[in-house]
Structure 1
Amino acid sequence: MKPITGIVITLNEQQRIAACIDSLQRVCSEVIVVDSLSQDDTVRIAKDKGARVLLQEYLGDGPQKAHGVPHATNDWILTLDADERLEEDAVAAIQALTLDDPTRAYRFKRRNFCANHWIKAAGFYPDEVVRLYNRTTSGYLPKKGHASVRAPKVLDTGTHIRHFTYDGLSHWIQRIDQLSTRDAWAMKERGVAPSAWRPALHAASATLRKLILKGGILQGADGLTVTITTAFHAYMKYAKLNELYENENHRNDR
């Protein structure tokens, strides 16, 4: 196996960053933490764990994940979020790779948890993500929300990343608030126009997709929870986009 650089982006992740770095160090020769100016002990903990820390005000998901890549010693890059861990099957699969072909990137399945509860309903599993790639041919798209890796070829490892998505239902709601704000800002940066009907339309579309197309209607309480929260997220990000334009117009009218 060729050497790999692990990259993780952080903001106030003092409770999680140590375990994330430990996970990456099982297969990586170095770990780079790109920190968005945390106000807690994230940076100190990361340095104590042997990671190299780069301080960078948040640029959006894709640009932030790409920021550490030029600083890597190795061409092979493995990215995790601070709330993610490689499971044993993923560690074994990565250790078995020769990594001889730089045009290949590798995909993993995420197991998403709300507290101790693994949520599989309505598309929450297998939730496949590309996380191991060679920077000479592949990389994160410059998308500010929910960015993904573009690569010439993607191979499925069939193995798992454990994602501690939410600490509980209250945290789930808090994250929707945070992420919908980020998404609204990213859409405005892209020039997406405000619309009175988009919030309801996208919420209805999300409900149809999760409840019917993804089978949530047949998956009990988890299916319903995923459907409602996804629709709420969709509604709020477009409602907040409208709010951004309203606030801007109000400032300009003063």
Structure 2
Amino acid sequence: MKITANIITLNEEKNIEAVIKSVQTVCDEVLVVDSLSNDKTCEIAEHLGARVIKQKYLGDGPQKAFGENYATNDWILSIDADERLDLNAIEEIQKLDLETTSYDGFSFARKTYVGDNFIKLWYPDRVTRLYNRKKCAYSKQKGHAKVEAKNVCDLKADMLHYSYEDYIQMIRTTEKFIKRGAQISLESGKKASSLDPFVHGVGALFKALVLKGGAFHGIHGWNVAVISAYSSYMKYALMLEMQKNDK
């Protein structure tokens, strides 16, 4: 099929082989936009037939948009190194007639794992990842960007997301995103009040445990809910600290 896989990487030698083999089932071209890795990511990718473009990290949205420029196809399958196409996703993509479709893009239900544990709380977490670059594109957000498309078809297909090896890694990664999120919010002109850490922290906990039913998902539902609440609380607490230091 005339689809180009677009994968952004940084030191992903543990993941790169699996993700490339996953997309090669439906893509005739694989691009890897590498943020100057110092491991064997690029070597493995090239050995598997992918084309590697090296580019210093520009931010999530800009980095993914950068890769589009090197694609020979208009249909792009954007996938992260820690993601895989489930068998039902491969089957659904193979059924598509991309030459005649009226849709601008197609979304997948993402199944996220912490270690071997499927986090039901986050499912289906719809993400548009297969899209026509002539009709839509990634947003320019530096963090957690998404494809901006209006005419999207929700496929009955899953994208597997092996996000964290364990909860220790999840906590460490969350702390990195807290700082980045606070900086991005301030740069965009947002301000935090003294009540925001409590409001957003409690709100995140209530949403995860009650509105999404995480309280009934066992220990993994509670773990994720508490970490999410901690992330929301500390983001605004850090924004307050940054605002104070700026003054």
TM score, norm. by length of structure 2: 0.93
Give the distance between the partners of 2:228 and 2:79, measured in 1 at CA: 23
The answer to whether the Cα contact below 8 Å between 1:103 and 1:151 also exists between their aligned partners in 2 is no
Give the distance between the partners of 2:7 and 2:244, measured in 1 at CA: 35
Q: CA deviation at 1:22?
A: 1.1
Q: Deviations over 1:47-82 (max 9, x none)?
A: 222222222222222122111111111000001110
Q: Deviations over 1:142-189 (max 9, x none)?
A: 122221112131111111111101101111111111222222232233
Amino acid at match of 1:171: Q
SS state of the match for residue 226, structure 1?
Answer: helix
Query: What is the aligned partner in structure 2 of residue 162 from structure 1?
Result: 160
Judging changes above 3 Å, is the alpha-carbon distance between structure 1 residues 189 and 39 closer, same or farther for their aligned structure 2 residues?
Answer: farther
Amino acid at match of 1:120: K
The answer to whether the Cα contact below 8 Å between 1:103 and 1:138 also exists between their aligned partners in 2 is no
Q: CA deviation at 1:31?
A: 1.0
SS state of the match for residue 81, structure 1?
Answer: coil
Amino acid at match of 2:109: K
The answer to whether the Cα contact below 8 Å between 2:110 and 2:123 also exists between their aligned partners in 1 is yes
Unaligned runs of 5+ in 1: 250-254
Q: Alignment length, in residue pairs?
A: 246
Query: What is the aligned partner in structure 1 of residue 107 from structure 2?
Result: 107
Matches within 5 A, 1:164-243: 164-243=162-241
Whether 2:50 is the aligned partner of 1:51: answer yes
Q: Deviations over 1:72-119 (max 9, x none)?
A: 110000011100000111111111111123643111111111111111
Pairwise CA RMSD: 1.7
- State the percentage of identical aligned residues: 44
Give the distance between the partners of 1:72 and 1:243, measured in 2 at CA: 43
Unaligned runs of 5+ in 2: none
Query: What is the aligned partner in structure 2 of residue 76 from structure 1?
Result: 75
Query: What is the aligned partner in structure 2 of residue 148 from structure 1?
Result: 146
The answer to whether the Cα contact below 8 Å between 1:206 and 1:234 also exists between their aligned partners in 2 is yes
Give the distance between the partners of 2:216 and 2:27, measured in 1 at CA: 41
40-49 or 229-238: bigger deviation: 40-49
Give the distance between the partners of 2:197 and 2:238, measured in 1 at CA: 9
Query: What is the aligned partner in structure 1 of residue 35 from structure 2?
Result: 36
The answer to whether the Cα contact below 8 Å between 2:6 and 2:78 also exists between their aligned partners in 1 is yes
The answer to whether the Cα contact below 8 Å between 1:10 and 1:34 also exists between their aligned partners in 2 is yes
Judging changes above 3 Å, is the alpha-carbon distance between structure 1 residues 243 and 22 closer, same or farther for their aligned structure 2 residues?
Answer: farther
Judging changes above 3 Å, is the alpha-carbon distance between structure 1 residues 28 and 204 closer, same or farther for their aligned structure 2 residues?
Answer: same
Give the distance between the partners of 1:169 and 1:98, measured in 2 at CA: 41
Give the distance between the partners of 1:34 and 1:247, measured in 2 at CA: 36
